[in-house]
Structure 1
Protein backbone atom coordinates (compact mmCIF):
# COMPACT_ATOMS: atom_id res chain seq x y z
CA UNK A 1 0.00 0.00 0.00
CA UNK A 2 1.47 3.36 -1.05
CA UNK A 3 0.88 6.57 0.89
CA UNK A 4 0.19 9.39 -1.58
CA UNK A 5 -1.06 12.10 0.80
CA UNK A 6 -0.89 12.81 4.50
CA UNK A 7 -2.08 15.84 6.41
CA UNK A 8 -3.20 16.86 9.89
CA UNK A 9 -6.31 19.01 10.03
CA UNK A 10 -7.69 20.76 13.13
CA UNK A 11 -9.93 17.73 13.61
CA UNK A 12 -7.91 14.64 12.71
CA UNK A 13 -5.04 13.05 10.82
CA UNK A 14 -5.85 12.14 7.22
CA UNK A 15 -4.21 9.61 4.91
CA UNK A 16 -4.75 8.80 1.23
CA UNK A 17 -3.35 5.47 0.00
CA UNK A 18 -3.22 3.59 -3.26
CA UNK A 19 -3.07 -0.17 -3.58
CA UNK A 20 -3.32 -2.81 -6.29
CA UNK A 21 -5.14 -5.27 -4.06
CA UNK A 22 -8.12 -4.63 -1.81
CA UNK A 23 -10.06 -7.24 0.16
CA UNK A 24 -8.85 -10.02 -2.12
CA UNK A 25 -9.53 -8.13 -5.35
CA UNK A 26 -6.91 -7.05 -7.86
CA UNK A 27 -7.11 -3.63 -9.48
CA UNK A 28 -6.13 -0.07 -8.69
CA UNK A 29 -7.76 1.37 -5.60
CA UNK A 30 -7.50 4.66 -3.71
CA UNK A 31 -8.42 4.85 0.00
CA UNK A 32 -9.19 7.58 2.52
CA UNK A 33 -8.38 6.86 6.16
CA UNK A 34 -8.99 9.02 9.24
CA UNK A 35 -6.34 8.87 11.97
CA UNK A 36 -5.82 5.28 13.09
CA UNK A 37 -9.39 4.20 12.39
CA UNK A 38 -10.71 2.00 9.60
CA UNK A 39 -10.81 3.11 5.97
CA UNK A 40 -13.53 5.74 5.49
CA UNK A 41 -13.83 5.59 1.71
CA UNK A 42 -12.48 3.60 -1.21
CA UNK A 43 -12.58 4.11 -4.97
CA UNK A 44 -11.88 1.72 -7.83
CA UNK A 45 -9.84 3.99 -10.08
CA UNK A 46 -10.59 1.81 -13.10
CA UNK A 47 -14.35 1.93 -12.39
CA UNK A 48 -15.05 5.02 -10.25
CA UNK A 49 -18.81 4.40 -10.33
CA UNK A 50 -18.39 1.06 -8.57
CA UNK A 51 -19.33 0.98 -4.86
CA UNK A 52 -16.80 -1.10 -2.95
CA UNK A 53 -18.09 -1.07 0.63
CA UNK A 54 -21.19 -2.86 1.86
CA UNK A 55 -22.61 -0.11 4.04
CA UNK A 56 -23.17 2.49 1.27
CA UNK A 57 -24.62 -0.27 -0.90
CA UNK A 58 -27.09 -1.09 1.87
CA UNK A 59 -27.92 2.57 2.57
CA UNK A 60 -28.58 3.16 -1.14
CA UNK A 61 -30.87 0.12 -1.23
CA UNK A 62 -32.85 1.37 1.78
CA UNK A 63 -33.27 4.75 0.12
CA UNK A 64 -34.36 3.33 -3.23
CA UNK A 65 -36.66 0.79 -1.59
CA UNK A 66 -38.24 3.21 0.90
CA UNK A 67 -38.81 6.15 -1.47
CA UNK A 68 -37.94 5.21 -5.07
CA UNK A 69 -38.84 8.69 -6.34
CA UNK A 70 -37.14 10.69 -3.62
CA UNK A 71 -35.95 14.17 -4.50
CA UNK A 72 -33.90 15.62 -1.66
CA UNK A 73 -31.42 14.34 0.88
CA UNK A 74 -29.23 15.90 3.55
CA UNK A 75 -26.05 14.04 4.44
CA UNK A 76 -23.80 14.61 7.46
CA UNK A 77 -20.28 13.42 6.63
CA UNK A 78 -18.89 13.59 3.09
CA UNK A 79 -16.18 10.93 3.08
CA UNK A 80 -15.29 10.61 -0.60
CA UNK A 81 -18.86 11.33 -1.74
CA UNK A 82 -19.87 7.77 -2.63
CA UNK A 83 -23.63 8.05 -1.98
CA UNK A 84 -24.34 11.48 -3.51
CA UNK A 85 -22.19 10.51 -6.51
CA UNK A 86 -24.56 7.57 -7.05
CA UNK A 87 -27.58 9.91 -7.30
CA UNK A 88 -26.51 12.67 -9.74
CA UNK A 89 -30.12 13.57 -10.60
CA UNK A 90 -31.20 14.05 -6.98
CA UNK A 91 -30.68 17.10 -4.78
CA UNK A 92 -28.12 16.47 -2.06
CA UNK A 93 -26.92 18.89 0.59
CA UNK A 94 -23.85 17.69 2.44
CA UNK A 95 -22.39 18.92 5.72
CA UNK A 96 -18.73 18.18 6.40
CA UNK A 97 -17.06 19.44 9.55
CA UNK A 98 -13.50 19.08 8.24
CA UNK A 99 -12.60 21.36 5.35
CA UNK A 100 -9.57 19.20 4.62
CA UNK A 101 -11.87 16.24 3.90
CA UNK A 102 -13.70 18.39 1.34
CA UNK A 103 -10.42 19.33 -0.33
CA UNK A 104 -9.19 15.72 -0.40
CA UNK A 105 -12.49 14.42 -1.81
CA UNK A 106 -12.14 16.87 -4.70
CA UNK A 107 -8.41 16.57 -5.37
CA UNK A 108 -7.91 12.83 -4.89
CA UNK A 109 -11.37 11.34 -5.49
CA UNK A 110 -12.79 13.63 -8.17
CA UNK A 111 -15.83 14.89 -6.26
CA UNK A 112 -17.02 17.87 -8.32
CA UNK A 113 -20.57 18.64 -7.15
CA UNK A 114 -21.10 22.06 -5.60
CA UNK A 115 -23.29 20.83 -2.75
CA UNK A 116 -20.96 20.60 0.26
CA UNK A 117 -20.94 23.09 3.13
CA UNK A 118 -18.23 23.18 5.79
CA UNK A 119 -19.57 23.15 9.31
CA UNK A 120 -21.29 21.11 11.99
CA UNK A 121 -23.99 18.94 10.43
CA UNK A 122 -26.57 19.57 13.12
CA UNK A 123 -26.26 23.34 12.85
CA UNK A 124 -26.51 23.20 9.07
CA UNK A 125 -29.50 20.84 9.25
CA UNK A 126 -31.27 23.27 11.58
CA UNK A 127 -31.05 25.91 8.84
CA UNK A 128 -33.05 23.74 6.40
CA UNK A 129 -36.79 24.50 5.95
CA UNK A 130 -39.24 22.29 7.88
CA UNK A 131 -40.57 19.18 6.09
CA UNK A 132 -38.24 19.77 3.12
CA UNK A 133 -36.15 16.58 3.04
CA UNK A 134 -36.84 13.01 2.00
CA UNK A 135 -33.75 11.56 3.68
CA UNK A 136 -31.29 12.58 6.35
CA UNK A 137 -28.14 10.43 6.32
CA UNK A 138 -25.65 10.39 9.18
CA UNK A 139 -22.21 8.98 8.35
CA UNK A 140 -20.01 11.00 10.67
CA UNK A 141 -17.23 9.70 12.88
CA UNK A 142 -14.60 11.06 15.22
CA UNK A 143 -12.06 9.01 17.23
CA UNK A 144 -14.77 8.23 19.81
CA UNK A 145 -17.33 7.14 17.19
CA UNK A 146 -20.43 8.96 15.96
CA UNK A 147 -20.66 12.31 17.79
CA UNK A 148 -23.23 12.16 20.57
CA UNK A 149 -25.04 15.32 19.48
CA UNK A 150 -25.92 13.47 16.22
CA UNK A 151 -27.55 10.55 18.06
CA UNK A 152 -29.47 12.32 20.83
CA UNK A 153 -33.19 12.76 21.41
CA UNK A 154 -32.87 16.43 20.55
CA UNK A 155 -31.13 15.65 17.26
CA UNK A 156 -33.77 13.11 16.22
CA UNK A 157 -36.52 15.62 17.01
CA UNK A 158 -34.75 18.15 14.79
CA UNK A 159 -34.39 15.55 12.03
CA UNK A 160 -38.09 14.68 12.30
CA UNK A 161 -39.04 18.34 11.89
CA UNK A 162 -36.96 18.65 8.70
CA UNK A 163 -38.24 15.44 7.07
CA UNK A 164 -41.26 15.24 4.80
CA UNK A 165 -44.09 12.98 5.95
CA UNK A 166 -42.68 9.84 4.30
CA UNK A 167 -39.03 10.69 4.91
CA UNK A 168 -36.49 8.69 6.86
CA UNK A 169 -33.29 9.19 8.80
CA UNK A 170 -30.58 6.55 8.25
CA UNK A 171 -27.44 6.27 10.39
CA UNK A 172 -24.25 4.33 9.72
CA UNK A 173 -22.75 3.35 13.08
CA UNK A 174 -20.00 1.10 14.38
CA UNK A 175 -20.63 -1.28 17.23
CA UNK A 176 -20.95 -4.86 18.40
CA UNK A 177 -23.33 -7.27 16.73
CA UNK A 178 -25.19 -7.88 20.00
CA UNK A 179 -25.31 -6.65 23.60
CA UNK A 180 -24.00 -3.22 22.66
CA UNK A 181 -25.22 -0.75 25.26
CA UNK A 182 -24.37 2.26 23.09
CA UNK A 183 -26.14 0.99 19.96
CA UNK A 184 -29.16 -0.13 22.00
CA UNK A 185 -29.41 3.37 23.49
CA UNK A 186 -29.30 5.09 20.09
CA UNK A 187 -31.99 2.77 18.73
CA UNK A 188 -34.20 3.29 21.78
CA UNK A 189 -33.80 7.06 21.42
CA UNK A 190 -34.63 6.89 17.70
CA UNK A 191 -37.79 4.93 18.52
CA UNK A 192 -38.97 7.68 20.90
CA UNK A 193 -39.28 10.02 17.92
CA UNK A 194 -40.15 7.81 14.95
CA UNK A 195 -43.08 5.41 14.74
CA UNK A 196 -41.11 2.85 12.75
CA UNK A 197 -37.48 1.84 13.14
CA UNK A 198 -35.23 -0.83 11.67
CA UNK A 199 -31.75 -2.11 12.50
CA UNK A 200 -29.34 -3.97 10.23
CA UNK A 201 -26.00 -5.54 11.14
CA UNK A 202 -23.13 -6.59 8.87
CA UNK A 203 -21.55 -9.60 10.62
CA UNK A 204 -17.81 -9.27 11.16
CA UNK A 205 -15.02 -11.30 12.66
CA UNK A 206 -13.61 -8.18 14.31
CA UNK A 207 -14.60 -6.45 17.54
CA UNK A 208 -16.89 -4.01 15.75
CA UNK A 209 -19.09 -4.09 12.69
CA UNK A 210 -21.22 -1.74 10.64
CA UNK A 211 -24.73 -1.19 11.98
CA UNK A 212 -27.43 0.73 10.12
CA UNK A 213 -30.36 2.27 11.97
CA UNK A 214 -33.35 3.80 10.20
CA UNK A 215 -36.33 5.75 11.52
CA UNK A 216 -39.48 6.99 9.80
CA UNK A 217 -43.20 7.44 10.31
CA UNK A 218 -43.65 4.93 7.49
CA UNK A 219 -42.48 1.29 7.69
CA UNK A 220 -38.79 0.91 6.85
CA UNK A 221 -37.66 -2.43 5.44
CA UNK A 222 -34.98 -3.65 3.10
CA UNK A 223 -34.92 -6.77 0.98
CA UNK A 224 -32.38 -9.15 2.55
CA UNK A 225 -31.03 -10.28 -0.82
CA UNK A 226 -30.16 -6.67 -1.70
CA UNK A 227 -28.63 -5.56 1.61
CA UNK A 228 -25.01 -6.43 0.70
CA UNK A 229 -24.70 -8.94 3.53
CA UNK A 230 -26.52 -6.91 6.19
CA UNK A 231 -29.19 -8.77 8.12
CA UNK A 232 -32.01 -7.37 10.20
CA UNK A 233 -31.33 -7.28 13.91
CA UNK A 234 -33.55 -7.08 16.98
CA UNK A 235 -31.97 -4.75 19.52
CA UNK A 236 -32.52 -4.61 23.25
CA UNK A 237 -34.07 -1.70 25.10
CA UNK A 238 -31.56 0.94 26.15
CA UNK A 239 -31.42 4.31 27.82
CA UNK A 240 -32.35 7.59 26.14
CA UNK A 241 -29.43 9.58 24.74
CA UNK A 242 -29.62 13.28 25.57
CA UNK A 243 -27.50 16.13 24.32
CA UNK A 244 -24.04 16.49 25.85
CA UNK A 245 -23.64 19.41 28.19
CA UNK A 246 -21.88 21.50 25.52
CA UNK A 247 -25.06 21.47 23.42
CA UNK A 248 -27.39 22.20 26.34
CA UNK A 249 -25.57 25.28 27.61
Structure 2
Protein backbone atom coordinates (compact mmCIF):
# COMPACT_ATOMS: atom_id res chain seq x y z
CA UNK A 1 0.00 0.00 0.00
CA UNK A 2 1.49 3.31 -1.15
CA UNK A 3 1.22 5.67 1.82
CA UNK A 4 1.62 9.37 1.09
CA UNK A 5 1.94 11.81 3.98
CA UNK A 6 2.44 15.55 4.30
CA UNK A 7 3.26 17.18 7.63
CA UNK A 8 1.37 20.47 7.93
CA UNK A 9 2.55 21.41 11.42
CA UNK A 10 5.12 20.24 13.91
CA UNK A 11 4.93 22.00 17.27
CA UNK A 12 7.15 21.56 20.32
CA UNK A 13 5.35 22.12 23.62
CA UNK A 14 6.58 21.30 27.12
CA UNK A 15 9.05 18.76 25.77
CA UNK A 16 6.47 17.01 23.58
CA UNK A 17 6.00 17.12 19.83
CA UNK A 18 2.54 17.61 18.33
CA UNK A 19 2.01 17.01 14.63
CA UNK A 20 -0.72 17.63 12.06
CA UNK A 21 -0.41 15.35 9.05
CA UNK A 22 -2.38 14.74 5.88
CA UNK A 23 -2.34 11.11 4.76
CA UNK A 24 -4.03 8.92 2.18
CA UNK A 25 -4.20 5.88 4.50
CA UNK A 26 -5.44 5.67 8.09
CA UNK A 27 -5.66 2.30 9.84
CA UNK A 28 -5.60 0.58 6.43
CA UNK A 29 -8.50 2.70 5.12
CA UNK A 30 -7.77 4.64 1.95
CA UNK A 31 -8.97 8.21 1.62
CA UNK A 32 -7.91 11.74 2.51
CA UNK A 33 -7.37 12.18 6.21
CA UNK A 34 -5.97 14.88 8.48
CA UNK A 35 -4.49 13.50 11.69
CA UNK A 36 -3.51 15.04 15.02
CA UNK A 37 -0.77 13.00 16.63
CA UNK A 38 2.21 12.82 18.90
CA UNK A 39 5.76 12.07 17.79
CA UNK A 40 5.39 8.48 18.98
CA UNK A 41 2.69 7.90 16.37
CA UNK A 42 -0.32 7.94 18.72
CA UNK A 43 -3.37 9.34 16.93
CA UNK A 44 -5.25 11.92 19.01
CA UNK A 45 -7.84 12.84 16.43
CA UNK A 46 -8.64 12.33 12.75
CA UNK A 47 -10.81 14.08 10.16
CA UNK A 48 -12.03 12.78 6.80
CA UNK A 49 -11.23 15.65 4.44
CA UNK A 50 -13.82 14.40 1.94
CA UNK A 51 -16.53 14.23 4.62
CA UNK A 52 -15.56 16.50 7.55
CA UNK A 53 -18.80 15.76 9.45
CA UNK A 54 -17.98 12.04 9.57
CA UNK A 55 -16.67 10.79 12.93
CA UNK A 56 -13.66 8.73 11.87
CA UNK A 57 -12.44 7.04 15.06
CA UNK A 58 -14.50 4.35 16.76
CA UNK A 59 -14.27 5.51 20.36
CA UNK A 60 -15.81 9.00 19.93
CA UNK A 61 -18.59 7.42 17.84
CA UNK A 62 -19.33 5.01 20.68
CA UNK A 63 -19.15 7.70 23.39
CA UNK A 64 -21.47 10.00 21.44
CA UNK A 65 -23.94 7.15 20.99
CA UNK A 66 -23.87 6.34 24.72
CA UNK A 67 -24.47 9.96 25.64
CA UNK A 68 -27.40 10.35 23.26
CA UNK A 69 -28.93 6.96 23.94
CA UNK A 70 -28.90 7.18 27.73
CA UNK A 71 -29.84 10.85 28.16
CA UNK A 72 -31.15 12.24 24.84
CA UNK A 73 -32.01 15.60 26.35
CA UNK A 74 -28.86 16.10 28.41
CA UNK A 75 -27.92 19.72 28.88
CA UNK A 76 -24.40 20.02 30.28
CA UNK A 77 -21.21 17.99 29.95
CA UNK A 78 -17.60 18.50 30.97
CA UNK A 79 -14.86 17.08 28.74
CA UNK A 80 -11.26 16.59 29.86
CA UNK A 81 -9.06 16.25 26.78
CA UNK A 82 -10.09 18.18 23.67
CA UNK A 83 -8.14 16.62 20.79
CA UNK A 84 -9.63 17.97 17.56
CA UNK A 85 -12.93 18.70 19.32
CA UNK A 86 -14.96 15.81 17.90
CA UNK A 87 -17.34 15.33 20.84
CA UNK A 88 -17.66 18.99 21.84
CA UNK A 89 -18.24 19.96 18.22
CA UNK A 90 -20.91 17.30 17.71
CA UNK A 91 -22.84 18.62 20.71
CA UNK A 92 -22.18 22.30 19.97
CA UNK A 93 -25.84 23.11 20.69
CA UNK A 94 -25.46 21.91 24.31
CA UNK A 95 -23.57 23.42 27.23
CA UNK A 96 -20.22 21.73 26.60
CA UNK A 97 -17.35 22.69 28.89
CA UNK A 98 -13.94 21.52 27.77
CA UNK A 99 -10.59 21.42 29.58
CA UNK A 100 -7.40 20.99 27.55
CA UNK A 101 -3.93 21.10 29.10
CA UNK A 102 -2.25 22.01 25.80
CA UNK A 103 -2.66 25.54 24.40
CA UNK A 104 -1.27 24.27 21.09
CA UNK A 105 -3.94 21.58 20.73
CA UNK A 106 -6.70 24.03 21.61
CA UNK A 107 -5.48 26.28 18.79
CA UNK A 108 -4.77 23.49 16.29
CA UNK A 109 -8.33 22.17 16.54
CA UNK A 110 -9.64 25.43 15.08
CA UNK A 111 -6.82 26.23 12.65
CA UNK A 112 -6.41 22.82 11.02
CA UNK A 113 -9.60 20.88 11.84
CA UNK A 114 -12.29 23.53 11.61
CA UNK A 115 -13.49 23.20 15.18
CA UNK A 116 -16.16 25.84 15.72
CA UNK A 117 -17.70 24.65 18.97
CA UNK A 118 -17.75 26.12 22.47
CA UNK A 119 -14.65 27.78 23.92
CA UNK A 120 -11.92 25.47 25.15
CA UNK A 121 -10.56 26.25 28.62
CA UNK A 122 -6.80 25.72 28.77
CA UNK A 123 -5.64 24.24 32.05
CA UNK A 124 -5.58 21.17 34.24
CA UNK A 125 -8.82 19.23 33.85
CA UNK A 126 -9.15 18.32 37.50
CA UNK A 127 -8.66 21.88 38.71
CA UNK A 128 -11.17 23.19 36.18
CA UNK A 129 -13.69 20.47 37.04
CA UNK A 130 -13.38 21.45 40.69
CA UNK A 131 -14.72 24.90 39.77
CA UNK A 132 -18.00 23.49 38.44
CA UNK A 133 -21.09 23.65 40.65
CA UNK A 134 -21.86 20.48 42.59
CA UNK A 135 -24.54 18.34 40.96
CA UNK A 136 -24.52 20.42 37.77
CA UNK A 137 -23.24 17.97 35.13
CA UNK A 138 -25.04 15.29 33.14
CA UNK A 139 -21.79 13.80 31.86
CA UNK A 140 -18.07 13.94 32.45
CA UNK A 141 -16.01 12.63 29.53
CA UNK A 142 -12.38 11.76 30.26
CA UNK A 143 -10.11 11.39 27.24
CA UNK A 144 -6.82 12.75 28.48
CA UNK A 145 -3.43 11.46 27.42
CA UNK A 146 -0.11 13.09 26.70
CA UNK A 147 3.01 11.97 24.90
CA UNK A 148 4.70 11.78 28.30
CA UNK A 149 2.16 9.28 29.61
CA UNK A 150 -0.92 9.00 31.76
CA UNK A 151 -2.00 12.01 33.88
CA UNK A 152 -2.39 9.86 36.99
CA UNK A 153 -4.20 12.47 39.09
CA UNK A 154 -7.22 12.04 36.79
CA UNK A 155 -7.62 8.38 37.76
CA UNK A 156 -7.41 8.36 41.55
CA UNK A 157 -9.95 7.74 44.30
CA UNK A 158 -10.02 11.45 45.00
CA UNK A 159 -10.78 12.26 41.35
CA UNK A 160 -13.66 9.78 41.25
CA UNK A 161 -15.07 11.38 44.39
CA UNK A 162 -14.83 14.79 42.74
CA UNK A 163 -16.56 13.50 39.61
CA UNK A 164 -19.35 11.97 41.69
CA UNK A 165 -19.82 15.30 43.47
CA UNK A 166 -20.11 17.29 40.24
CA UNK A 167 -22.56 14.91 38.51
CA UNK A 168 -26.31 15.26 38.93
CA UNK A 169 -28.55 12.46 40.19
CA UNK A 170 -28.61 10.76 36.76
CA UNK A 171 -25.06 11.60 35.72
CA UNK A 172 -22.22 9.40 34.49
CA UNK A 173 -18.52 9.58 33.75
CA UNK A 174 -17.33 8.04 30.47
CA UNK A 175 -13.67 7.19 29.91
CA UNK A 176 -11.64 6.39 26.84
CA UNK A 177 -8.61 4.41 28.02
CA UNK A 178 -6.00 2.32 26.28
CA UNK A 179 -4.41 -0.84 27.62
CA UNK A 180 -3.86 -4.56 27.25
CA UNK A 181 -6.87 -6.79 26.77
CA UNK A 182 -6.12 -8.79 29.91
CA UNK A 183 -4.35 -8.13 33.21
CA UNK A 184 -3.46 -4.52 32.64
CA UNK A 185 -2.63 -3.00 36.02
CA UNK A 186 -3.65 0.53 35.01
CA UNK A 187 -6.99 -0.53 33.51
CA UNK A 188 -7.68 -2.76 36.50
CA UNK A 189 -6.93 0.12 38.88
CA UNK A 190 -9.28 2.44 36.99
CA UNK A 191 -12.02 -0.19 37.04
CA UNK A 192 -11.57 -0.65 40.78
CA UNK A 193 -11.85 3.10 41.34
CA UNK A 194 -15.04 3.35 39.30
CA UNK A 195 -16.47 0.32 41.09
CA UNK A 196 -15.86 1.94 44.45
CA UNK A 197 -17.25 5.37 43.54
CA UNK A 198 -20.32 4.54 41.44
CA UNK A 199 -23.32 2.27 41.90
CA UNK A 200 -23.41 1.28 38.23
CA UNK A 201 -20.44 0.42 36.01
CA UNK A 202 -20.04 -0.97 32.50
CA UNK A 203 -17.05 -1.76 30.34
CA UNK A 204 -16.56 -2.15 26.59
CA UNK A 205 -13.52 -2.85 24.42
CA UNK A 206 -12.55 -3.13 20.79
CA UNK A 207 -11.66 -6.85 20.50
CA UNK A 208 -7.89 -7.18 19.98
CA UNK A 209 -6.38 -9.77 17.66
CA UNK A 210 -4.50 -11.18 20.65
CA UNK A 211 -5.61 -10.84 24.31
CA UNK A 212 -2.14 -9.53 25.12
CA UNK A 213 -2.43 -6.68 22.60
CA UNK A 214 -3.38 -3.16 23.62
CA UNK A 215 -6.81 -1.87 22.68
CA UNK A 216 -9.28 0.94 23.27
CA UNK A 217 -11.68 0.58 26.16
CA UNK A 218 -14.70 2.64 27.15
CA UNK A 219 -15.50 2.47 30.85
CA UNK A 220 -18.59 3.99 32.46
CA UNK A 221 -19.40 4.82 36.07
CA UNK A 222 -22.77 6.31 36.83
CA UNK A 223 -25.66 6.97 39.17
CA UNK A 224 -27.88 4.72 37.05
CA UNK A 225 -27.34 1.77 34.72
CA UNK A 226 -26.08 2.62 31.24
CA UNK A 227 -27.87 0.96 28.32
CA UNK A 228 -26.34 0.17 24.93
CA UNK A 229 -27.29 -1.59 21.68
CA UNK A 230 -24.10 -3.28 20.53
CA UNK A 231 -24.89 -2.63 16.87
CA UNK A 232 -24.47 1.08 17.60
CA UNK A 233 -21.21 0.77 19.53
CA UNK A 234 -18.78 1.10 16.58
CA UNK A 235 -17.40 -2.39 17.14
CA UNK A 236 -16.99 -2.17 20.93
CA UNK A 237 -18.05 -5.28 22.80
CA UNK A 238 -18.84 -5.79 26.52
CA UNK A 239 -15.62 -6.39 28.42
CA UNK A 240 -15.08 -5.94 32.14
CA UNK A 241 -11.51 -5.69 33.47
CA UNK A 242 -10.35 -7.28 36.69
CA UNK A 243 -10.56 -5.14 39.81
CA UNK A 244 -7.10 -3.98 40.79
CA UNK A 245 -5.78 -1.62 43.43
CA UNK A 246 -7.47 1.77 43.59
CA UNK A 247 -5.06 4.61 42.85
CA UNK A 248 -4.76 7.45 45.38
CA UNK A 249 -3.38 10.98 45.17
CA UNK A 250 -0.67 10.30 47.73
CA UNK A 251 0.84 7.62 45.48
CA UNK A 252 1.81 10.41 43.07
CA UNK A 253 2.37 13.25 45.53
CA UNK A 254 -0.61 15.15 44.20
CA UNK A 255 -2.40 17.82 46.16
CA UNK A 256 -5.61 19.46 44.96
CA UNK A 257 -5.16 23.23 44.80
Instruction: Quote the residue 1:150 is aligned against.
Output: 154
Distance 1:231 1:102 in 2: 31
The reply on whether 1:233 has 2:239 as its aligned counterpart is yes
Change in 2 beyond 3 A, CA 1:240/1:196: same
- Per the alignment, residue 74 of structure 1 pairs with 78
Q: What residue number does 1:86 align with?
A: 90
SS for the counterpart of 1:129 is coil
> Which residue pairs with 1:222 in the alignment?
228
Aligned equivalents of 2:137, 2:120: Cα separation in 1? 16
What is the Cα deviation at residue 84 of structure 1? Answer: 1.2
8 Å contact kept, 2:79–2:99 = yes
Is 1:60 the counterpart of 2:68? The answer is no
When residues 195 and 99 of structure 1 are mapped into structure 2, their CA distance, relative to the original with a 3 A threshold, is same
Q: 1:46 corresponds to which residue?
A: 50
Q: Write the mapping of 1:104-123 to structure 2, written as runs, cut at 5 A.
A: 104-123=108-127
Q: 1:140 aligns with which of 141, 144, 160?
A: 144
Please give the alpha-carbon distance, in whole angstroms, between the structure 2 residues aligned to 1:247 and 1:144: 20
From 36, 43, 51, the counterpart of 2:40: 36
Secondary structure, aligned partner of 1:247? coil
Cα–Cα, structure 1 residues 145 and 38, in superposed 2: closer, same or farther, change >3 Å? same
Unmatched runs of 5 consecutive residues or more in structure 1: none
Q: Deviations over 1:190-240 (max 9, x none)?
A: 111100001111123473110111000100132111111111112222111
CA contact (8 A) 1:145 1:174 kept: no
Query: How many residue pairs get matched?
Result: 249
Q: How does 1:142-221 map to 2 (within 5 A)?
A: 142-143=146-147, 145-205=149-209, 207-221=213-227
Partner of 1:246: helix, strand, or coil? coil
CA root-mean-square deviation: 1.5
Superposition TM-score, scaled by structure 2 size: 0.92
Kindly indicate whether the alpha-carbon contact (under 8 Å) linking 2:37 and 2:43 is maintained by their aligned counterparts in 1: yes
Tell me, which stretches of 5 or more residues in structure 2 are unaligned? Answer: none
Q: What stretches of structure 1 move > 6 A for 4+ residues in a row?
A: none
Tell me whether 19-28 or 110-119 shows the greater mean CA deviation. 19-28
Is contact 2:97-2:118 (8 Å) kept? no
